[in-house]
Structure 1
């Protein structure tokens, strides 16, 4: 099948005008980008004026959460109810134009969901999945995570996670906004514990994502060798320089605090107080990281309070508003995100890659908001949302 006369943004930073995109619905792969001559009775669609971009890749989602004001509602669910919740959230995410995610884990269920999605039995984006976040006793996310104390327990927790199928390890390097009694600005693990976590994960062949708001916790995580810093709310100059020097990726999740602040009347007092304290600092940290050349990947923290699944593309607007070039932001939430989270052949439009893409009415480099309303969403060469390209088929 060929889509012709389209603008193609390939997810690596290249732009093709008046181009063709050829893909095979049977294999679900891209055959050619740029020029493509139809063969035989191959369907050809003229999409003049449209833009084709890779499906978005969200590097930080919580399918177990659905935007509740408090985690108490989730804690009351049994595993069957929670898994059904995850299935619904995965479908919403895919149909909005997100064709790949890194799922942050809860009760070991994300790895189960990922298996069903991979087999085509459940609709959802391609997934890199975790089992449970690792946190100190009483630390951020302990409700749905695995609590540890001491380097030995840290190593054991990583081994247990990998045994259960975790494709990466998430650690809570600081307190968090949504967990009462924890301080987002304070480091959680000792240096010895953090070193044990990272060393064991890398020995097991998986990467490490570190939730970190405060600069001290972020620096400790980077010095221990983590692969990504999630949030990076209170980054100072020293920490930003360290991120650049060590080639550590920042996943800023600008959507998360925005939605809490904009829903102040419904947020818990604890979450609102913490968010009000950090929101402006978060934006300043992000802008400084962009200016310094930190490697940034798009992630939303979808599922956190009032941060609903299916609105993921809004993160791109925040990234652009607070300092990123539109094309850089798009790459950060397509090809670069897929590379960082380990989704091979995803997030890009090139021969051999998965035919995961969006058809947009407008050019997102002129208005990044165009990505929020795709005309058509395609995963693996199959239309999963929107219309079937919205135009009449031409003869081959």
Structure 2
């Protein structure tokens, strides 16, 4: 099939203002980008006044959470209830234009969800799944995570997660906003524990992400070899320098504090108190990291309080609002996030999956257009909306 007469943004740059893309519906992969001539009776669809770009990649999602004011509303649910929630949220995410994600884990359910999606049993984005986030006893996310104490338990927890199918490891370097009794600015693990976690994960062939708000946690994790820092709220210059020097990717999740800060009357008293002033500091850290050349990948933390599935593309708007050019912000949530997730997506190139987002107009001039895609395709198959002028209803 050929889609032609469209603007093409390949995940890194605009490659054509009046171009074509061919994909094979059988293999679900792209065959040509920029120009393509029909072969035989091959279907051809004209998409004038539209832009084709890769499906979005969200490097930080929580399918088990649905934007509740507090995680306490979730922890009492059974595995069956949480699984149904994950199935619903995965479908909503895919239909909004996010065709790949890195799912941050809860009670080992995300790997089960991934398997069902991969087998075609349920609709959802391509998924790199964690099992349970690793945290200290009583630390951030302990409700749905794996609590550990000491380097030996850290190594054992990593081995458990990999054994159960985790595609990466996540740990909580600091406290968090949504976990009562934890301090977002305080380093949770000892340096020996951090080194054990990261070393063991790399020995097992998986990358490591860390939840980290405070500068000390960010610096300790970066020095120990972590691959991605999630949030990065209170970075100082030394922390930013370490991210650049050690080639650590920042996943800023600007959506998360914004949603809480705009809903303080409904948030818990502790979340509201912790968020007070946090958003402004988070924005400052993001701006300084971007200006310093830190690699940034788009991730939303969707599922956290008032941060609803299906609104993921708003993260791109936030990144643009706070300093990134539109093409840079879109790249952060396509090619750059795909590099983090490690799936064969995020760019329009021959051989890559035909995970496509079709948008009316030019999102390089107005990124808000990404919130209402004309059509979403995964592996060349329509999963949301409809391509205009398509007699077969793709």
Q: TM-score, normalised to structure 1's length?
A: 0.98
Q: Secondary structure at the match of 1:161?
A: helix
**Contact preservation (8 Å) 1:46, 1:393:** no
Alignment of 1:179 with 2:168, yes or no, is no
- Write out aligned runs for 1:71-86 (5 A): 71-86=71-86
Report the equivalent of 1:238.
238
Report the equivalent of 2:389.
391
Report the equivalent of 2:26.
26
Report the equivalent of 1:114.
114
Q: Secondary structure at the match of 1:340?
A: helix
Distance 2:391 2:94 in 1: 25
Deviations 1:49-106 (A, max 9, x none): 1100100000000000000001112111100110110000000000000000000000
- Write out aligned runs for 1:1-396 (5 A): 1-343=1-343, 345-387=344-386, 389-392=387-390
**Contact preservation (8 Å) 2:136, 2:189:** yes
| Structure 1 residue 197, shift from structure 2 partner | 0.3
**Contact preservation (8 Å) 1:377, 1:384:** yes
Deviations 1:153-192 (A, max 9, x none): 0000000110111110000000000000000000000000
Q: Secondary structure at the match of 2:274?
A: helix
Instruction: Please tell me the root mean square deviation across aligned C-alpha atoms, in Å.
Output: 1.0
| Structure 1 residue 277, shift from structure 2 partner | 3.1
**Contact preservation (8 Å) 1:362, 1:370:** yes
**Contact preservation (8 Å) 2:301, 2:307:** yes
Distance 1:392 1:116 in 2: 30
**Contact preservation (8 Å) 1:172, 1:212:** yes
Distance 1:258 1:392 in 2: 39
| Structure 1 residue 137, shift from structure 2 partner | 0.4
| Structure 1 residue 370, shift from structure 2 partner | 1.0
Deviations 1:282-336 (A, max 9, x none): 0000000111010000000000000000000000000010011111111110111
Distance 2:118 2:259 in 1: 31
The count of aligned residue pairs is: 392
Distance 1:392 1:33 in 2: 20
Q: Secondary structure at the match of 1:48?
A: coil
Distance 1:279 1:10 in 2: 32
Deviations 1:128-165 (A, max 9, x none): 00000000000000000000000000000000110111
Superposed structure 1 runs of 4+ greater than 3 Å apart: none
Q: TM-score, normalised to structure 2's length?
A: 0.98
Q: Secondary structure at the match of 2:223?
A: helix
**Contact preservation (8 Å) 1:2, 1:22:** yes
**Contact preservation (8 Å) 1:6, 1:50:** yes
| Structure 1 residue 13, shift from structure 2 partner | 2.6
Distance 1:216 1:181 in 2: 19
Distance 2:390 2:153 in 1: 61
Distance 2:197 2:278 in 1: 27
Distance 1:75 1:174 in 2: 21
Distance 1:205 1:392 in 2: 44
Q: Secondary structure at the match of 1:232?
A: strand
**Contact preservation (8 Å) 2:12, 2:327:** no
| Structure 1 residue 392, shift from structure 2 partner | 4.9
Q: Secondary structure at the match of 2:4?
A: strand
Q: Secondary structure at the match of 2:234?
A: coil
Distance 1:103 1:317 in 2: 22
**Contact preservation (8 Å) 1:43, 1:393:** no
Deviations 1:241-294 (A, max 9, x none): 110011000000000000011111110010011111311000000000111010
**Contact preservation (8 Å) 1:29, 1:351:** yes
